[in-house]
Amino acid sequence: MTYRVRTLPAVRRAALALAAVLPLLACGAARAADAWPSRPVRVVVPYGPGGAVDVATRKMAQMLSTQTGQSFIVENKPGATGTIGVSQVARAAPDGYTLLANDTTYPLLPHIFKQLPFDPAKDLQPISAFVFAPMALAVSKDSPYRKLDDLIAQARAKPDTITYGSGGPGTTPHFAAEGLALATNVKFMHVPFKGAAEATQAVLGKVIDFQFASTTGVMGPVQGGQLRLLAVTGDKRLAVLPEVPTFAEAGVKDFGVVNWTGLWAPKGTPAEVTERLQREVAKAMSSEEMQSFATKMGAEPRAADAAEFGRILAASGAMWGNVARNIGYDAK
């Protein structure tokens, strides 16, 4: 039997050929990143229109469209506490043309569902968080509750009679309200809706007593005089609503839930694309237009990169896990 041995010159020729190809491959990858986005980008909001995530995402999509010269189209896919929309993005091609927008409800999901149709750690990767807005307790303009103390006193005197609305069980407003109930030793009655905007309409129509919401989602009717805020989370009062006390000032200590909006991409999306998107979000948030938008919504006008976003998600998950266990809602 005869064996053919590759000679050193042949090996050298192969190495030289590979060396010649590698720069071309690198250039091709760079061109692909530079070319993104070459067609419209779909941004899935897993809740109904009009809520905090929808409002902040639509503004960011407008900015990204202007900056990149390509359309960023927001699609609302509500249902099952946002898991329907999240699942669609988790199954999408990891090419940068399908993104997920969500808020602090995302790290809540593993605590309220025994089994999810996606793996938050393996199927999606965080890109950037932006528009950090405090949570607020909102009542209608004609509500008999003028102060937080009034509402808490009534809830203590008549348990399960003070009603509040949310975009569904397991959402951030649901857990925020239950967290307040724990902190003040009262019981509220939860009335779930299909989305935060529907809950807002129920407060306006006096169908329910109050709503927990991100300031981003309710600032319009608040500034229009249709809603009143009894308290906001955070360490200081809002510059746009200086008359509204913080929860600490209203007598509820250590109650601080901040709602942010974030973007995720399917796992495996090229780093060149995710890094470009991260830069574009940061650029948008540094603009005068987005700074003004966030400030008017009572939000902190900044962006968090992927590393910081990851730390925020971990901290939020731990916080929500504690609340879930205390109210007997933990899926585990």
CATH number for the domain that contains residue 162? 3.40.190.10
> What's residue 34's pLDDT?
60
**Do the domain assignments include residue 36?**
no
Closest CA to 78 of 175, 226, 181, 194: 194
Radius of gyration (C-alpha) of the chain in whole angstroms: 24
The DSSP annotation for 150-200 comes to HHHHHHHHSTT-SEEEESSTTSHHHHHHHHHHHHHT---EEEE-SSHHHHH
End-to-end CA distance of the chain: 65
Query: CATH number, domain at 121?
Result: 3.40.190.150
In a domain, 35, yes or no: no
Q: Of 218, 250, 282, which marks where a domain is finished?
A: 250
**How many structural domains compose the chain?**
2
Question: Does residue 151 surpass a pLDDT of 90?
Answer: yes
For residues 127 and 264, is the Cβ–Cβ distance under 8 A?
A: yes
Provide the pLDDT for residue 296: 93
Q: Kindly state whether residue 125 falls inside one of the protein's structural domains.
A: yes
* Residues 6+ away with beta carbon under 8 Å from 253: 183, 247
Dump pLDDT digits (tens) for 86-112.
999 999 999 999 999 999 999 999 998
Q: Can you tell me the mean pLDDT for 29-45?
A: 80
Strand partners, 130: 261, 303
Domain range for 323: 41-132+258-327
Share of the chain above pLDDT 70, in %: 89
Picking from 250, 278, 313, the residue at the C-terminal end of a domain is 250
Structure confidence at residue 3 (pLDDT): 39
Query: Does residue 86 sit in the same domain as residue 231?
Result: no
Q: Which two tokens stand for residue 189?
A: 């009655």
- The verdict on 241 and 98 lying in the same domain is no
- Give CA angle at 297 (254, 207), nearest 5°: 75
**What integer is the mean pLDDT of 4-9?**
45
Report the share of the chain in percent with pLDDT over 90.
75
Q: What is the pTM of this model?
A: 0.82
